[in-house]
Structure 1
Amino acid sequence: MNLTGTFLTIKYAVPHFKKQGGSVIVAVSIDGTRVFSNTGATAYSCSKAGQVAMPKMLALELAKHKIRVNVV
């Protein structure tokens, strides 16, 4: 749900933003960027890592449409 929800929200918002620009802010968890010492959080950590990487790529791709994409 973490990554899919983020993807779908951006997918359906971007066409509206392309008309006049806009900003996307993705709130992520530290679990997407840190080293782990416990087990059982593989799926969660992978989805959070995707939430960190996807906006960085989208920021590059959508800049020409005056759409800012940030990760917090």
Structure 2
Amino acid sequence: MSKGKSHISYIIDLMWPELEGDAAIHALETSIYRLRKIIKDKKFIEYQGQIVNIKTSNCYVDLWDIQE
């Protein structure tokens, strides 16, 4: 997992390895939609093209420290 930005195929392979094509993309888009609703900040998770970006200034993921 890279800090903040990830390609959608990487996320889909981790989260929904059994899904392919449109079903996998739909699962990702649904999850992003639900997270945005819970967090109440639509800009916290950006999804453009093939990249998902999390604003790292507002969150902490300990895995990122281990990888550095």
Both structures adopt the same fold (TM-score exceeding 0.5): no
Structure (1/2) with the larger helix percentage: 1
Bigger CA radius of gyration: 1
**What is the TM-score when the length of structure 2 is the normalising length?**
0.35
What TM-score do you get using the length of structure 1 for normalisation?
0.34
